[in-house]
Amino acid sequence: MERRGLSLTDIQEVPKNSAILLAGPPGAGKSTFCHQVVLNGLAMDRPVIFVTTEHGPSEVIGLLREKGLGEPTPGALNFVDAFTETVGLTCTPRSDALCANCVDLNSISIATTRLQERIARKGILLAFDSLTSPYLFSGAEVIKFIRLFLSKFAAEGNSVVALMDEGCGKEEDLGAMMSVAAGIIKIEIRENSRVVSVVKHPKVEPTRIEVPTDKMSEEKLYDASIWDREMISRFMHLSEVEKSKLKKETSELFGVNLFWPNFIRWNSITWDPKRFPLMAYEVWKKWGLLTREMIALLPWYVKPLLGLSIPRDLSKTKDMKKLLKSFFGKGIETRGDCIMEYLDDASRTDEHYIRVYENHECWGFENVGTPLASHLPPMIAGTCKGLEKEERDWNAIETKCIGLGDPYCEWKMVPGEIPELRDSLKKDFSAIRRVHERLMHHLMGFMLYGKPLWERPRLGSVFLMTAPSLAMVGERYRMALRMGGAKAGKEVGEHLMQAGIGEDEAVQRVMHLLEYIRVGMPRKVTMDETIRIKENPESLFTKYYTTKWAEPSCYFTTGFLNGFFFAVKNQHVREIRCIAMGDPYCEWEIV
C-alpha cells in the first residue's frame, strides 16, 4: 500500500529497540542515507557508534562534514574501524575509535561492546556501513552476527541501521538477513531519481518514496596532472635500438603470469559486480583515447609517416583492417595479449568484427557462463575515437567468448552506442563464483601439488602488465583492490591450513608463488624481518608513467599479504616503502 506525504526524514530516524537493514545495489545511495541517519541522531543528542568497513574514520568524518557535520561533543561520535587493519594499513590509535578486522566478526563485536560500555547509556545509534565486506569474508556467518549481536544490541534499548549491497552474494543469504531484521528499506536507482521502498518498518507502513536527484557524477578518469609527460616524451623520442633494449627490459619488469592479473581482477570485482566492470570499460576506453596525446609527443619527422599509415576515417573495412595491422600488428602478440584476426567476410561499413585467440583475460575460463574481455575491446574502441578526424564515439562488445562456451572470442566494433553493452559487462554473483572457483582450483593445484598454472599453446603464460591500474581512477576502486586482496590472501591461507601445511611452510609456498608468477622479476622477492619486492608490477606503471604517487600503491599485494598472514599466523602486514613513491623497492613489515 502506498502512503502519500511521507518524506525521507520520517524514515531516517531509527526507532529504539529496532535493527533496520538498508539494502540496494552499490552506488544506490545507501551510504548517503546512512550518513543522514547519523547526522539526525547526533542532532537529537544520541551517541553514535559508526562501524566502517570500506573507509577509515577520517574519510567518514570528511563525508559527514560535507553534509553539515559540525564539531560533535566529546564521546558523541565513535568509530569501530574495521577497514584499516583489514587491508594492511596502520590503524592509528584515536580517542574516538577502536580497531577491528572484517575477517574476524568477533573483533567487531568486541570493539562495539567496549564502546557501548564506554558510552554507558542506552539509546545508542549503531550505524554499520557496510555488512558487505564482512559477508564476502565470512559468508552466512554474517546472518548469525545480525541475529545474535546486532539484534541483541538493538533490543537493549538501542537502534541499528546496517547496510548490505545487493548482487554481491547469494540471494538466499540476503533474504535470510532481511528475515532477521526488524525493518527493511530498499534503495534502487532510476535514471534521474532514487526510489526508497519501505518494505517493513516498526513505525511506518510499507511505502515508496521517489527522490529526484542530479545525474550521478562520474569519477574523473586519469587526472592529467599525475602524468609524467617529460618521461613519456623521452620514451617517444627513443631510437629504434634504444626502444628494442627498453622492450627487453620491459618484458623482464612488467611480464607476469597471466593468472595474476585475472586473480586481481576477479577478487576485486566481487565488491562491486555491477559498476566495477562498467568503470573498467570506461577506463580502458579512455586509455585508448590517450593515443592521440601520445602521438602529439612524437618527434616531428615521424608524424607525417605515421599519418600516412593511419586512416583518419575508419568506416570502411579496408581502413579498419589497415589500422589494426599498422597500429597494433604484432605488438598485441608480443605483449602476450592475444592473437587477433580481422574478419573481412563478417564486417561491413561501420560494423567491424575481430576474432581473438588465446586472450589473456579469457584463457582458462572456458564455459563459466559470462563474457570476460574488459581490456582490449574498449581500448581499441578508444583508440579509434582518438585517431579519427571526426572523433566518433566508438564502442566494442564481445559477441562470442570462450567463457560462454565458444571456441574463440569475437568482438563487434561500431561508431555509436551498443544497447546491449552495459548488460553484457555487468556480472552476477553466480558467474563471479564460477570464475573464482576456477581460479582457486588452479592456484591450489599449483601450491599443493606443483601443477603448472595456465599455459597458452602459442603465446605461453607471460602477459605484460604495461597498462594502468583501476587504482588510479578513484578511492572506491582502491578499496576494491585492497579488500579483494585481503579476501584472496585469507582464502589461500585457509586452504593451505586445511590441507595440513604448517605455518612456516605455507609462508614459503606463498613466497614461491609470487616468484613463480613473476611478481618482482627477475626473482626479487625476499623475506627476513620484512618482505621486499624489487619491482612489483602493480606499482611499476605508476612509477614509470606518473609523477611520484602520494601513498604506497601496492593495494592488492598488500591486502593479499595481510589477509594471508592473518589467516596463517594471526599477524598483520603493512607496506612501508613503495617504488611508486620513489623508494628503491616495495617493503612490508610484519607485526
d(CA 585, CA 431): 37
d(CA 562, CA 482): 10
Q: Are 393 and 434 in contact (CB under 8 A)?
A: no
Q: What is the Cα 200 distance to its own chain's centre?
A: 32
Q: Where are the alpha helices (DSSP H) in 160-258?
A: 171-180, 229-236, 240-254
d(CA 428, CA 297): 42
**H/E stretch holding 126:** strand 125-129
What pLDDT shows up at residue 1? 35
3-state secondary structure of 518: coil
Q: Scan for cell 534503495, then name that residue.
A: 187
Which regions of the chain are under pLDDT 50? 1-4, 214-222, 224, 305, 522
Q: Which three cell numbers stand for residue 56?
A: 577509515
d(CA 36, CA 520): 45
d(CA 294, CA 386): 10
Instruction: Region of 336 please: left (phi>0), alpha (psi -120 to 50) or beta.
Output: left
Q: What is the Cα 369 distance to its own chain's centre?
A: 21
d(CA 450, CA 472): 35
What pLDDT shows up at residue 231? 57
Q: Read off the pLDDT of residues 471-509 as tens digits, 9 standing for 90 and up.
A: 666 777 888 899 999 999 999 999 999 999 999 999 999
Second CATH level (architecture) for the domain 8-212? 3-Layer(aba) Sandwich (3.40)
Q: Which three cell numbers stand for residue 355?
A: 576474432
Strand runs labelled E in 253-376: 255-257, 339-342, 352-357
Q: Pick from 30, 48, 36: which is nearest to 10 by CA?
A: 36
Q: Are 353 and 346 in contact (CB under 8 A)?
A: yes
Distance from the first to the final alpha carbon of the chain: 56
Q: Omega of the bond prior to 130 within 30 degrees of 0, cis? A: yes
The CATH classification number of 274-426 equals 3.90.1520
DSSP secondary structure letters along 454-508? --BTTTBSEEE--S--GGGT-HHHHHHHHHHHHHHHHHHHHHHHHTT--HHHHHH
What pLDDT shows up at residue 50? 98
DSSP state of 27: T
The amino acid occupying position 194 is: R
Q: Scan for cell 582450483, then name that residue.
A: 441
What pLDDT shows up at residue 149? 97
Q: Which three cell numbers stand for residue 308?
A: 600516412
Q: What is the Cα 548 distance to its own chain's centre?
A: 22
DSSP secondary structure letters along 42-85? HHTT--EEEEESSS-HHHHHHHHHHTT---PPTTSEEEEE-STT
DSSP secondary structure letters along 380-410? HHHHHHHHSSS---EEEEEEE-GGGT-SSEE
What pLDDT shows up at residue 145? 97
What pLDDT shows up at residue 234? 58
> Domain coordinates of the chain in residue numbers?
8-212, 274-426
d(CA 253, CA 587): 17
